[in-house]
Chain A
Amino acid sequence: MKKILVVEDEEGLRLLYEEELETEGYEVITARNGKEAIQKLEEEKPDLIILDIVMPVMDGMEALGRIVGKDRKIPIILNSSYSGYREDFMSWVADAYVTKSSDLEELKAKVKELLEKGQTR
Protein backbone atom coordinates (compact mmCIF):
# COMPACT_ATOMS: atom_id res chain seq x y z
CA MET A 1 0.00 0.00 0.00
CA LYS A 2 1.38 3.44 -0.95
CA LYS A 3 2.03 5.78 1.92
CA ILE A 4 1.19 9.48 1.64
CA LEU A 5 2.42 12.19 3.98
CA VAL A 6 -0.05 15.08 4.30
CA VAL A 7 1.53 18.25 5.69
CA GLU A 8 -1.20 20.69 6.72
CA ASP A 9 -1.62 22.97 9.71
CA GLU A 10 -5.42 23.11 9.65
CA GLU A 11 -6.83 20.17 11.57
CA GLY A 12 -10.08 20.04 9.61
CA LEU A 13 -8.30 19.78 6.30
CA ARG A 14 -5.90 17.21 7.64
CA LEU A 15 -8.81 14.98 8.65
CA LEU A 16 -10.58 15.50 5.34
CA TYR A 17 -7.49 14.58 3.31
CA GLU A 18 -6.80 11.60 5.51
CA GLU A 19 -10.33 10.24 5.07
CA GLU A 20 -10.54 10.91 1.34
CA LEU A 21 -7.13 9.45 0.54
CA GLU A 22 -7.70 6.38 2.70
CA THR A 23 -10.90 5.76 0.76
CA GLU A 24 -8.74 5.80 -2.38
CA GLY A 25 -6.72 2.98 -0.87
CA TYR A 26 -3.66 4.82 0.44
CA GLU A 27 -2.08 4.73 3.85
CA VAL A 28 -2.03 8.30 5.19
CA ILE A 29 0.26 9.87 7.75
CA THR A 30 0.13 13.53 8.73
CA ALA A 31 2.32 16.38 9.94
CA ARG A 32 1.31 19.83 11.18
CA ASN A 33 4.21 21.80 9.78
CA GLY A 34 7.42 21.53 7.80
CA LYS A 35 9.53 20.55 10.75
CA GLU A 36 7.28 17.63 11.62
CA ALA A 37 7.19 16.69 7.95
CA ILE A 38 10.98 16.27 7.83
CA GLN A 39 10.84 14.10 10.92
CA LYS A 40 8.06 11.95 9.43
CA LEU A 41 9.94 11.73 6.15
CA GLU A 42 12.86 10.10 7.93
CA GLU A 43 10.81 7.86 10.24
CA GLU A 44 8.05 6.75 7.91
CA LYS A 45 9.60 6.85 4.43
CA PRO A 46 6.42 7.94 2.60
CA ASP A 47 5.98 7.47 -1.16
CA LEU A 48 4.56 10.94 -1.80
CA ILE A 49 4.15 14.24 0.04
CA ILE A 50 1.27 16.72 -0.11
CA LEU A 51 2.66 19.96 1.22
CA ASP A 52 0.79 23.08 2.33
CA ILE A 53 2.78 26.30 1.98
CA VAL A 54 1.64 28.74 4.68
CA MET A 55 2.22 26.98 8.01
CA PRO A 56 3.67 27.96 11.38
CA VAL A 57 7.01 26.66 12.73
CA MET A 58 8.37 25.84 9.27
CA ASP A 59 6.55 26.79 6.08
CA GLY A 60 6.19 24.58 3.04
CA MET A 61 8.69 26.46 0.85
CA GLU A 62 11.44 26.07 3.43
CA ALA A 63 10.52 22.43 4.04
CA LEU A 64 10.49 21.73 0.30
CA GLY A 65 14.21 22.48 -0.02
CA ARG A 66 15.08 20.35 2.96
CA ILE A 67 12.91 17.47 1.85
CA VAL A 68 14.63 17.40 -1.52
CA GLY A 69 17.98 17.68 0.27
CA LYS A 70 17.14 14.45 2.08
CA ASP A 71 15.30 12.59 -0.66
CA ARG A 72 15.91 13.86 -4.19
CA LYS A 73 13.26 11.81 -5.89
CA ILE A 74 10.22 11.73 -3.64
CA PRO A 75 7.18 13.15 -5.50
CA ILE A 76 5.91 16.36 -3.90
CA ILE A 77 2.64 18.18 -4.52
CA LEU A 78 2.42 21.75 -3.27
CA ASN A 79 -1.08 22.44 -2.07
CA SER A 80 -1.98 26.02 -1.23
CA SER A 81 -5.01 28.28 -1.19
CA TYR A 82 -2.90 30.83 -3.03
CA SER A 83 -1.76 30.39 -6.58
CA GLY A 84 0.74 33.25 -6.35
CA TYR A 85 3.50 31.00 -5.04
CA ARG A 86 3.74 29.47 -8.50
CA GLU A 87 5.94 32.46 -9.35
CA ASP A 88 8.44 31.41 -6.70
CA PHE A 89 11.44 29.58 -8.18
CA MET A 90 11.44 27.29 -5.18
CA SER A 91 7.91 26.10 -5.96
CA TRP A 92 9.23 24.69 -9.25
CA VAL A 93 11.12 22.13 -7.22
CA ALA A 94 7.78 20.42 -6.52
CA ASP A 95 6.40 17.96 -9.07
CA ALA A 96 3.00 19.62 -9.07
CA TYR A 97 1.18 22.62 -7.69
CA VAL A 98 -2.49 22.17 -6.87
CA THR A 99 -4.56 25.09 -5.59
CA LYS A 100 -6.77 24.12 -2.65
CA SER A 101 -10.41 23.51 -3.50
CA SER A 102 -13.40 21.84 -1.83
CA ASP A 103 -13.28 19.33 -4.64
CA LEU A 104 -10.32 16.99 -4.17
CA GLU A 105 -10.51 15.38 -7.61
CA GLU A 106 -7.57 17.32 -9.08
CA LEU A 107 -5.42 16.52 -6.09
CA LYS A 108 -6.32 12.84 -6.18
CA ALA A 109 -5.64 12.64 -9.90
CA LYS A 110 -2.19 14.21 -9.39
CA VAL A 111 -1.42 11.78 -6.57
CA LYS A 112 -2.32 8.85 -8.78
CA GLU A 113 -0.38 10.21 -11.75
CA LEU A 114 2.81 10.86 -9.78
CA LEU A 115 2.74 7.52 -7.99
CA GLU A 116 2.32 5.73 -11.32
CA LYS A 117 5.14 7.75 -12.83
CA GLY A 118 7.30 6.85 -9.87
CA GLN A 119 6.78 3.16 -10.49
CA THR A 120 8.02 3.35 -14.05
CA ARG A 121 11.05 5.41 -13.03
Chain B
Amino acid sequence: MKKVVTMLLAGGRGERLYPLTRDRAKPAVPFGAIYRVIDFTLSNCINSEIRHIYILTQYKSTSLHRHIQSGWNILSPALGEFIEVIPAQQRIDEHWYRGTADAIFQNIYTLQHEKPDLVLILSGDHIYKMDYRKMIAYHLEKGADLTVASIRMDRNLSKEFGVMEVDREGRIKGFQEKPEEPRTIPEDPDGILASMGIYIFNTEILVRRLIEDARSDSNHDFGKDIIPAMIKKDRVFNFDFSQGDCGGQGYWKDVGTIDAYYEANMDLVAVIPQLNLYDPEWPILAHQQPYPPAKTVLLEEGRVGMAINSILSHGSIISGGSVKRSVLSPRVMVHSYAEVKDSILLSGVDVGRHAKIRKAIIDKDVQIPERMEIGYNLDEDAKRFTVTASGIVVVPKWIKL
Protein backbone atom coordinates (compact mmCIF):
# COMPACT_ATOMS: atom_id res chain seq x y z
CA MET B 1 0.00 0.00 0.00
CA LYS B 2 1.24 3.47 -0.91
CA LYS B 3 1.88 5.99 1.80
CA VAL B 4 -0.31 9.06 1.31
CA VAL B 5 -0.01 12.35 3.15
CA THR B 6 -2.73 14.96 2.84
CA MET B 7 -2.05 18.68 2.80
CA LEU B 8 -5.30 20.54 3.33
CA LEU B 9 -5.10 24.20 2.38
CA ALA B 10 -7.19 26.15 4.86
CA GLY B 11 -5.73 29.61 4.46
CA GLY B 12 -8.49 31.22 2.42
CA ARG B 13 -9.64 34.60 3.67
CA GLY B 14 -13.13 34.18 2.26
CA GLU B 15 -13.54 37.90 1.72
CA ARG B 16 -16.78 37.48 -0.23
CA LEU B 17 -18.28 35.76 2.82
CA TYR B 18 -17.81 38.82 5.00
CA PRO B 19 -19.05 39.41 7.74
CA LEU B 20 -19.18 35.64 8.42
CA THR B 21 -15.39 35.63 7.94
CA ARG B 22 -14.80 38.69 10.11
CA ASP B 23 -13.51 36.52 12.94
CA ARG B 24 -12.79 33.21 11.21
CA ALA B 25 -11.14 31.71 8.16
CA LYS B 26 -13.50 30.39 5.49
CA PRO B 27 -13.06 26.69 6.40
CA ALA B 28 -14.17 27.51 9.96
CA VAL B 29 -17.45 29.11 8.91
CA PRO B 30 -20.42 27.19 10.37
CA PHE B 31 -22.52 25.33 7.82
CA GLY B 32 -25.58 23.07 7.92
CA ALA B 33 -26.48 23.84 11.56
CA ILE B 34 -23.83 21.76 13.30
CA TYR B 35 -20.87 21.59 10.93
CA ARG B 36 -18.03 23.83 9.85
CA VAL B 37 -17.16 24.00 6.16
CA ILE B 38 -13.91 22.06 6.71
CA ASP B 39 -15.77 19.14 8.35
CA PHE B 40 -16.87 17.90 4.92
CA THR B 41 -13.34 17.61 3.56
CA LEU B 42 -12.06 16.09 6.81
CA SER B 43 -14.93 13.59 6.90
CA ASN B 44 -14.12 12.63 3.32
CA CYS B 45 -10.55 11.93 4.43
CA ILE B 46 -11.57 9.80 7.40
CA ASN B 47 -14.20 7.91 5.39
CA SER B 48 -11.54 7.33 2.70
CA GLU B 49 -9.26 5.90 5.39
CA ILE B 50 -6.82 8.78 4.95
CA ARG B 51 -5.42 9.54 8.36
CA HIS B 52 -2.23 11.50 7.82
CA ILE B 53 -3.51 15.03 7.50
CA TYR B 54 -1.80 18.38 7.75
CA ILE B 55 -3.98 21.47 7.74
CA LEU B 56 -2.13 24.55 6.53
CA THR B 57 -3.53 27.77 7.94
CA GLN B 58 -2.60 31.41 7.90
CA TYR B 59 -5.25 34.12 8.32
CA LYS B 60 -7.59 34.28 11.32
CA SER B 61 -6.82 30.72 12.26
CA THR B 62 -7.70 30.76 15.97
CA SER B 63 -11.28 29.63 15.48
CA LEU B 64 -10.15 26.87 13.13
CA HIS B 65 -7.45 25.69 15.55
CA ARG B 66 -9.95 25.50 18.36
CA HIS B 67 -12.38 23.56 16.18
CA ILE B 68 -9.76 21.04 15.09
CA GLN B 69 -8.50 20.60 18.64
CA SER B 70 -11.89 20.05 20.22
CA GLY B 71 -13.77 18.44 17.35
CA TRP B 72 -11.22 16.39 15.48
CA ASN B 73 -9.20 14.87 18.26
CA ILE B 74 -10.36 11.46 17.06
CA LEU B 75 -7.34 9.76 15.51
CA SER B 76 -4.83 7.50 17.16
CA PRO B 77 -1.29 8.88 17.42
CA ALA B 78 -0.23 5.42 18.62
CA LEU B 79 -1.11 4.11 15.14
CA GLY B 80 0.75 6.98 13.50
CA GLU B 81 -2.47 8.78 12.57
CA PHE B 82 -2.80 12.54 12.89
CA ILE B 83 -4.68 15.67 11.98
CA GLU B 84 -2.19 18.42 12.61
CA VAL B 85 -2.60 22.15 12.10
CA ILE B 86 0.47 23.94 10.74
CA PRO B 87 0.26 27.71 10.88
CA ALA B 88 2.35 29.71 8.40
CA GLN B 89 5.81 29.59 9.98
CA GLN B 90 7.84 31.83 7.71
CA ARG B 91 10.60 29.28 7.85
CA ILE B 92 11.69 29.85 4.29
CA ASP B 93 10.15 33.12 3.25
CA GLU B 94 9.39 36.02 5.57
CA HIS B 95 6.01 36.47 3.94
CA TRP B 96 2.55 35.02 4.06
CA TYR B 97 1.97 32.28 1.51
CA ARG B 98 2.05 33.86 -1.94
CA GLY B 99 -0.09 31.20 -3.58
CA THR B 100 -1.30 27.63 -3.18
CA ALA B 101 1.95 26.15 -4.50
CA ASP B 102 4.00 28.39 -2.22
CA ALA B 103 2.00 27.12 0.78
CA ILE B 104 3.16 23.57 0.03
CA PHE B 105 6.72 24.63 -0.83
CA GLN B 106 7.05 26.48 2.47
CA ASN B 107 6.24 23.17 4.18
CA ILE B 108 8.78 21.13 2.27
CA TYR B 109 10.46 20.20 5.57
CA THR B 110 7.24 18.51 6.62
CA LEU B 111 7.11 16.47 3.41
CA GLN B 112 10.75 15.57 3.94
CA HIS B 113 9.91 14.35 7.43
CA GLU B 114 7.07 12.14 6.21
CA LYS B 115 8.50 11.05 2.84
CA PRO B 116 5.17 9.78 1.50
CA ASP B 117 4.78 8.12 -1.92
CA LEU B 118 1.86 10.37 -2.78
CA VAL B 119 0.65 13.77 -1.64
CA LEU B 120 -3.07 14.52 -1.72
CA ILE B 121 -3.72 18.27 -1.84
CA LEU B 122 -7.16 19.46 -0.80
CA SER B 123 -8.85 22.72 0.03
CA GLY B 124 -11.05 23.29 3.06
CA ASP B 125 -13.50 25.51 1.18
CA HIS B 126 -15.93 23.10 -0.45
CA ILE B 127 -18.99 21.07 0.50
CA TYR B 128 -19.04 17.61 -1.13
CA LYS B 129 -18.72 13.91 -0.43
CA MET B 130 -15.92 12.08 -2.19
CA ASP B 131 -14.01 8.85 -1.83
CA TYR B 132 -10.39 9.88 -2.42
CA ARG B 133 -9.39 6.20 -2.60
CA LYS B 134 -11.04 5.95 -6.02
CA MET B 135 -8.93 8.86 -7.23
CA ILE B 136 -5.75 7.37 -5.79
CA ALA B 137 -6.46 4.03 -7.49
CA TYR B 138 -7.01 5.84 -10.79
CA HIS B 139 -3.79 7.82 -10.37
CA LEU B 140 -1.80 4.61 -9.86
CA GLU B 141 -3.55 2.78 -12.68
CA LYS B 142 -2.73 5.58 -15.11
CA GLY B 143 0.86 5.80 -13.92
CA ALA B 144 0.27 9.53 -13.53
CA ASP B 145 2.63 12.12 -12.07
CA LEU B 146 -0.33 14.32 -11.19
CA THR B 147 -4.06 13.70 -11.20
CA VAL B 148 -6.56 16.57 -11.01
CA ALA B 149 -10.21 16.01 -10.10
CA SER B 150 -12.78 17.80 -12.22
CA ILE B 151 -16.51 18.38 -12.41
CA ARG B 152 -18.73 19.58 -15.24
CA MET B 153 -19.84 23.18 -14.83
CA ASP B 154 -21.80 25.53 -17.06
CA ARG B 155 -19.51 27.42 -19.40
CA ASN B 156 -20.69 30.83 -18.18
CA LEU B 157 -18.98 30.09 -14.85
CA SER B 158 -15.57 29.64 -16.48
CA LYS B 159 -14.13 32.78 -14.88
CA GLU B 160 -14.31 31.12 -11.47
CA PHE B 161 -12.46 27.93 -12.32
CA GLY B 162 -9.44 26.29 -13.83
CA VAL B 163 -10.75 24.82 -17.09
CA MET B 164 -9.23 21.63 -18.48
CA GLU B 165 -9.03 19.99 -21.89
CA VAL B 166 -8.72 16.23 -21.83
CA ASP B 167 -7.91 13.60 -24.46
CA ARG B 168 -9.54 10.18 -24.87
CA GLU B 169 -7.22 8.53 -22.37
CA GLY B 170 -8.06 11.15 -19.76
CA ARG B 171 -4.77 12.96 -20.12
CA ILE B 172 -4.99 16.70 -19.57
CA LYS B 173 -3.87 18.55 -22.70
CA GLY B 174 -4.83 22.10 -21.84
CA PHE B 175 -5.40 24.10 -18.68
CA GLN B 176 -6.75 27.66 -18.62
CA GLU B 177 -7.00 29.44 -15.28
CA LYS B 178 -10.28 31.36 -14.96
CA PRO B 179 -10.68 32.04 -18.69
CA GLU B 180 -13.26 34.37 -20.24
CA GLU B 181 -13.34 32.23 -23.37
CA PRO B 182 -13.14 28.65 -22.10
CA ARG B 183 -12.53 25.52 -24.15
CA THR B 184 -15.75 23.59 -23.73
CA ILE B 185 -16.30 19.85 -23.49
CA PRO B 186 -16.25 18.55 -27.11
CA GLU B 187 -19.63 16.80 -27.03
CA ASP B 188 -21.14 19.40 -24.66
CA PRO B 189 -20.62 22.98 -25.94
CA ASP B 190 -22.34 24.51 -22.89
CA GLY B 191 -20.16 22.66 -20.41
CA ILE B 192 -16.62 22.95 -19.13
CA LEU B 193 -14.43 20.60 -17.13
CA ALA B 194 -13.68 22.60 -14.00
CA SER B 195 -10.79 21.76 -11.69
CA MET B 196 -11.97 21.13 -8.13
CA GLY B 197 -8.60 22.02 -6.60
CA ILE B 198 -8.06 18.38 -5.61
CA TYR B 199 -4.64 17.07 -6.64
CA ILE B 200 -2.70 13.85 -6.21
CA PHE B 201 1.02 14.12 -6.87
CA ASN B 202 3.85 11.65 -6.81
CA THR B 203 5.90 13.21 -4.05
CA GLU B 204 9.20 13.45 -5.92
CA ILE B 205 7.66 15.17 -8.94
CA LEU B 206 5.73 17.52 -6.67
CA VAL B 207 8.86 18.58 -4.83
CA ARG B 208 10.85 19.08 -8.03
CA ARG B 209 8.12 21.14 -9.69
CA LEU B 210 7.56 23.21 -6.55
CA ILE B 211 11.26 24.03 -6.38
CA GLU B 212 11.39 25.01 -10.05
CA ASP B 213 8.40 27.23 -9.45
CA ALA B 214 9.80 28.72 -6.24
CA ARG B 215 12.97 29.69 -8.06
CA SER B 216 11.23 31.45 -10.92
CA ASP B 217 9.01 34.49 -11.40
CA SER B 218 5.54 33.11 -10.97
CA ASN B 219 2.33 33.49 -8.99
CA HIS B 220 3.30 30.30 -7.14
CA ASP B 221 -0.14 28.89 -7.72
CA PHE B 222 -1.16 25.36 -8.77
CA GLY B 223 -3.80 26.53 -11.23
CA LYS B 224 -1.86 29.40 -12.75
CA ASP B 225 1.65 27.98 -12.80
CA ILE B 226 2.32 24.40 -11.71
CA ILE B 227 -0.35 22.56 -13.71
CA PRO B 228 0.10 24.51 -16.97
CA ALA B 229 3.86 23.87 -16.75
CA MET B 230 3.40 20.19 -15.94
CA ILE B 231 0.99 19.29 -18.74
CA LYS B 232 3.82 20.05 -21.19
CA LYS B 233 6.30 17.61 -19.70
CA ASP B 234 4.68 15.27 -17.17
CA ARG B 235 1.87 12.71 -17.11
CA VAL B 236 -1.11 14.73 -15.89
CA PHE B 237 -4.52 13.04 -15.79
CA ASN B 238 -8.10 14.07 -15.20
CA PHE B 239 -10.23 12.26 -12.63
CA ASP B 240 -13.95 12.64 -13.18
CA PHE B 241 -15.66 13.51 -9.88
CA SER B 242 -18.64 11.28 -10.72
CA GLN B 243 -16.29 8.28 -10.34
CA GLY B 244 -15.66 9.17 -6.70
CA ASP B 245 -18.82 11.03 -5.73
CA CYS B 246 -20.28 9.36 -2.65
CA GLY B 247 -23.48 11.35 -2.75
CA GLY B 248 -24.12 10.27 -6.34
CA GLN B 249 -25.73 13.64 -7.10
CA GLY B 250 -22.69 15.48 -8.42
CA TYR B 251 -22.96 17.80 -5.43
CA TRP B 252 -19.91 20.04 -5.03
CA LYS B 253 -20.35 23.57 -3.78
CA ASP B 254 -18.01 26.42 -3.15
CA VAL B 255 -19.87 28.38 -0.50
CA GLY B 256 -17.67 31.35 -1.27
CA THR B 257 -20.35 34.07 -1.36
CA ILE B 258 -23.19 34.96 0.98
CA ASP B 259 -25.69 34.00 -1.74
CA ALA B 260 -24.08 30.61 -2.36
CA TYR B 261 -23.78 30.02 1.37
CA TYR B 262 -27.43 30.86 1.94
CA GLU B 263 -28.67 28.67 -0.92
CA ALA B 264 -26.52 25.69 0.12
CA ASN B 265 -27.86 25.87 3.68
CA MET B 266 -31.44 26.30 2.48
CA ASP B 267 -31.11 23.28 0.21
CA LEU B 268 -30.73 21.15 3.34
CA VAL B 269 -34.33 21.76 4.47
CA ALA B 270 -35.72 20.29 1.24
CA VAL B 271 -37.65 17.02 1.63
CA ILE B 272 -34.90 15.24 -0.28
CA PRO B 273 -31.86 17.54 -0.32
CA GLN B 274 -29.18 17.19 -2.96
CA LEU B 275 -26.69 16.78 -0.14
CA ASN B 276 -27.70 13.83 2.03
CA LEU B 277 -26.45 14.21 5.60
CA TYR B 278 -28.25 11.07 6.73
CA ASP B 279 -26.20 8.46 4.84
CA PRO B 280 -24.69 6.03 7.36
CA GLU B 281 -22.19 4.88 4.72
CA TRP B 282 -20.61 8.32 4.51
CA PRO B 283 -21.07 10.09 7.85
CA ILE B 284 -20.12 13.74 8.16
CA LEU B 285 -18.44 14.16 11.50
CA ALA B 286 -18.92 17.26 13.59
CA HIS B 287 -17.87 18.59 16.93
CA GLN B 288 -20.91 18.29 19.19
CA GLN B 289 -21.16 19.62 22.71
CA PRO B 290 -23.35 17.57 25.03
CA TYR B 291 -26.32 19.94 25.00
CA PRO B 292 -29.80 18.67 25.82
CA PRO B 293 -32.14 17.67 22.99
CA ALA B 294 -34.05 20.31 21.03
CA LYS B 295 -37.64 20.91 22.02
CA THR B 296 -40.74 22.82 20.95
CA VAL B 297 -43.17 23.99 23.62
CA LEU B 298 -46.49 25.77 24.09
CA LEU B 299 -49.72 25.11 22.30
CA GLU B 300 -52.13 27.91 23.09
CA GLU B 301 -54.33 30.18 21.06
CA GLY B 302 -51.89 32.40 19.04
CA ARG B 303 -48.90 31.09 20.93
CA VAL B 304 -47.68 27.87 19.33
CA GLY B 305 -44.08 26.69 19.55
CA MET B 306 -43.37 25.04 16.20
CA ALA B 307 -40.79 24.38 13.54
CA ILE B 308 -41.71 23.33 9.98
CA ASN B 309 -39.44 22.47 7.04
CA SER B 310 -36.52 23.35 9.28
CA ILE B 311 -33.38 21.92 10.82
CA LEU B 312 -33.20 22.09 14.61
CA SER B 313 -30.10 21.34 16.67
CA HIS B 314 -29.53 20.23 20.23
CA GLY B 315 -29.83 22.75 23.01
CA SER B 316 -32.48 24.72 21.13
CA ILE B 317 -35.91 25.64 22.47
CA ILE B 318 -38.73 26.93 20.32
CA SER B 319 -41.00 28.35 22.99
CA GLY B 320 -44.27 29.70 21.67
CA GLY B 321 -42.68 31.10 18.49
CA SER B 322 -42.68 29.78 14.94
CA VAL B 323 -39.81 28.67 12.73
CA LYS B 324 -40.36 27.99 9.04
CA ARG B 325 -37.90 26.91 6.36
CA SER B 326 -34.90 27.74 8.48
CA VAL B 327 -31.63 26.21 9.67
CA LEU B 328 -30.96 26.51 13.39
CA SER B 329 -27.60 25.75 15.02
CA PRO B 330 -27.33 24.53 18.64
CA ARG B 331 -28.55 26.62 21.61
CA VAL B 332 -30.98 28.79 19.66
CA MET B 333 -33.90 30.24 21.62
CA VAL B 334 -37.04 31.45 19.87
CA HIS B 335 -39.42 33.11 22.32
CA SER B 336 -43.19 33.49 22.26
CA TYR B 337 -44.93 35.16 19.31
CA ALA B 338 -41.62 35.47 17.45
CA GLU B 339 -41.47 34.47 13.78
CA VAL B 340 -38.40 33.12 11.99
CA LYS B 341 -38.55 32.16 8.35
CA ASP B 342 -36.18 31.49 5.43
CA SER B 343 -33.28 32.17 7.80
CA ILE B 344 -30.06 30.72 9.16
CA LEU B 345 -29.52 31.17 12.90
CA LEU B 346 -26.08 30.24 14.20
CA SER B 347 -25.26 28.96 17.71
CA GLY B 348 -26.61 30.79 20.70
CA VAL B 349 -28.89 33.20 18.86
CA ASP B 350 -31.77 34.40 21.00
CA VAL B 351 -34.90 35.74 19.30
CA GLY B 352 -37.01 37.90 21.63
CA ARG B 353 -40.81 37.93 21.89
CA HIS B 354 -42.74 39.28 18.90
CA ALA B 355 -39.52 39.65 16.87
CA LYS B 356 -39.80 38.87 13.15
CA ILE B 357 -36.91 37.58 11.05
CA ARG B 358 -37.05 36.82 7.35
CA LYS B 359 -34.34 35.83 4.83
CA ALA B 360 -31.50 36.57 7.22
CA ILE B 361 -28.28 35.00 8.47
CA ILE B 362 -27.79 35.74 12.18
CA ASP B 363 -24.26 35.04 13.39
CA LYS B 364 -23.33 33.45 16.72
CA ASP B 365 -24.73 34.60 20.07
CA VAL B 366 -26.63 37.60 18.70
CA GLN B 367 -29.55 38.68 20.92
CA ILE B 368 -32.52 39.87 18.88
CA PRO B 369 -34.56 42.20 21.13
CA GLU B 370 -38.32 41.96 21.52
CA ARG B 371 -40.35 43.24 18.56
CA MET B 372 -37.32 43.81 16.34
CA GLU B 373 -37.90 43.15 12.62
CA ILE B 374 -35.14 42.00 10.32
CA GLY B 375 -35.62 41.38 6.61
CA TYR B 376 -38.85 43.39 6.26
CA ASN B 377 -37.36 46.80 5.50
CA LEU B 378 -34.08 46.30 3.66
CA ASP B 379 -33.24 50.02 3.50
CA GLU B 380 -33.48 50.20 7.27
CA ASP B 381 -31.50 46.93 7.65
CA ALA B 382 -28.76 48.19 5.34
CA LYS B 383 -27.98 50.99 7.79
CA ARG B 384 -26.39 48.57 10.24
CA PHE B 385 -26.18 45.13 8.59
CA THR B 386 -24.78 43.66 5.38
CA VAL B 387 -27.57 43.27 2.83
CA THR B 388 -26.82 41.44 -0.42
CA ALA B 389 -28.19 42.45 -3.82
CA SER B 390 -30.47 39.41 -3.59
CA GLY B 391 -31.91 40.72 -0.32
CA ILE B 392 -30.21 38.51 2.27
CA VAL B 393 -29.53 40.33 5.55
CA VAL B 394 -26.43 39.27 7.50
CA VAL B 395 -26.30 40.22 11.20
CA PRO B 396 -22.70 39.94 12.42
CA LYS B 397 -21.35 38.34 15.56
CA TRP B 398 -20.83 40.54 18.65
CA ILE B 399 -23.29 43.19 17.51
CA LYS B 400 -25.34 44.76 20.31
CA LEU B 401 -28.93 45.37 19.36
The B339-380 residues at the A interface (CB cut-off 8 A) are: none
Partner of B92, one of A65, A73, A88, A92: A65
Query: Whole-angstrom distance between the alpha carbons of A93 and B215 in the complex?
Result: 8
* Residue numbers in A under 8 Å from B92 (CB-CB): 65-66, 68-69
* Interface range for A: 10 to 19
Cβ contacts under 8 Å, B95 to chain A: 69
Question: In the complex, are the beta carbons of B108 and A90 less than 8 A apart?
Answer: yes
| A68 & B215 in contact (Cβ 8 Å cutoff) | yes
Which among B61-69, B206-214, B277-285, B303-311 touches the partner chain?
B206-214
A65-B92, A92-B207 known; A72 vs B215 contact (CB < 8 Å): yes
Contact partner, A89, options B91, B108, B216, Cβ 8 Å: B108
A92 to B207, CA, bound (A): 8
CB closest residue in chain A, given B218? A72
Q: Which chain A positions have C-beta within 8 A of B214?
A: 68, 72, 93
Residues of A within 8 A of B94 (CB): 69
Q: Is the CB of B93 within 8 A of A69?
A: yes
**Closest residue on chain B to residue A62 by CB atoms:** B91
Interface size on B, residues (CB 8 A): 16
CB distance B112 to A88 under 8 Å?
Answer: yes
Q: Which residue of A lies closest to B108 (CB)?
A: A89
Asked if B291 is an interface residue, CB under 8 A from chain A, the answer is no
B17 at the interface (CB under 8 A from A): no
Neighbour of A90 across the interface among B93, B112, B215, CB < 8 A = B112
B96 within 8 A of A: no
Verify B111–A89 contact, CB threshold 8 A.
Answer: yes
Question: With the chains together, A90 CA to B106 CA distance in Å?
Answer: 10
CB of A93 within 8 A of CB of B112, answer no
Q: What's the Cα separation between A73 and B216 when bound, in Å?
A: 7
Name the residue on A nearest B91 (C-beta): A65
- In whole Å, how far is B203's beta carbon from the nearest beta carbon of chain A? 8
> What is the predominant secondary structure among interface residues of chain A facing chain B?
helix
Chain A 30-42 near chain B by CB (<8 Å), digits 1 or 0: 0000000000000
Instruction: Contact check, A92 vs B208: say whether CB atoms are below 8 A apart.
Output: yes
Q: When chains A and B are docked, how far (Å) is the Cα of A93 from the Cα of B91? A: 14
Contact digits for A63-96, partner B, Cβ 8 Å, 1 yes 0 no: 0011011001100000000000000111011000
What A residues does B216 contact at CB under 8 A?
72-73
Smallest CB-CB separation from A71: which chain B residue?
B215
Q: Which residue of chain B is the closest to A75 with respect to CB atoms? A: B215
Which of A68, A69, A89, A93 has the most CB atoms of chain B within a 10 A radius of its CB? A89
With both beta carbons as reference points, the residue of chain A lying nearest to B216 in the complex is identified as: A72
Residues of A within 8 A of B91 (CB): 65
Q: Closest B-chain residue to A66, C-beta based?
A: B92
Complex CA distance for A66 and B108, rounded to whole angstroms: 13
List chain B residues, Cβ under 8 A from A88: 112
Q: How far is the CA of A13 from the CA of B97 in the complex (A)?
A: 38
**Given the complex, which residues of B lie within 8 Å of A68, measured CB to CB?**
92, 214-215
Question: Closest residue of chain B to A93, judged by CB?
Answer: B211
Cα–Cα, bound, A73→B212 (Å)? 10
Residues of A contacting B215 with CB < 8 Å? Answer: 68, 72-73, 93
Residues of B89-103 whose CB lies within 8 A of A: 91-95
Chain B min CB distance to A89 (Å): 4
How far, in angstroms, from A45 to B111 measured CA to CA in the complex? Answer: 31
CA distance A89 to B204 in the complex (A): 8
Q: How far is the CB of A46 from chain B (nearest CB, A)?
A: 16
What CA separation (Å) do A72 and B216 show in the bound complex? 7
Chain B nearest CB: distance from A61 CB in Å?
A: 9
**CA–CA, A89 and B203, complex, Å:** 10
How far is it, in angstroms, between the C-alpha of A89 and the C-alpha of B215 when the chains are bound? 14
| Distance between Cα atoms of A93 and B93 in the complex (Å) | 14
A115 to B196: give the CA distance in the assembly, Å. 41
User: Nearest chain A CB to B103's CB is how many angstroms away?
Assistant: 14
Q: How far is the CA of A93 from the CA of B211 in the complex (A)?
A: 6
Interface residues of B (CB under 8 A from A): 91-95, 108-109, 111-112, 207-208, 211, 214-217
A69-B92, A90-B108 given; 16 more Cβ-contact pairs under 8 Å: A65-B108, A66-B92, A68-B92, A68-B215, A69-B93, A69-B95, A72-B214, A72-B215, A72-B217, A73-B216, A89-B108, A89-B111, A89-B207, A90-B112, A92-B207, A93-B211
List 11 A-B pairs, Cβ < 8 Å.
Answer: A65-B91, A68-B214, A68-B215, A72-B214, A73-B216, A89-B108, A89-B111, A89-B112, A92-B207, A93-B211, A93-B214
A residues engaging B (CB < 8 A)? 65-66, 68-69, 72-73, 88-90, 92-93
Closest 4 CB pairs of A and B: A69-B93, A65-B92, A89-B112, A89-B207
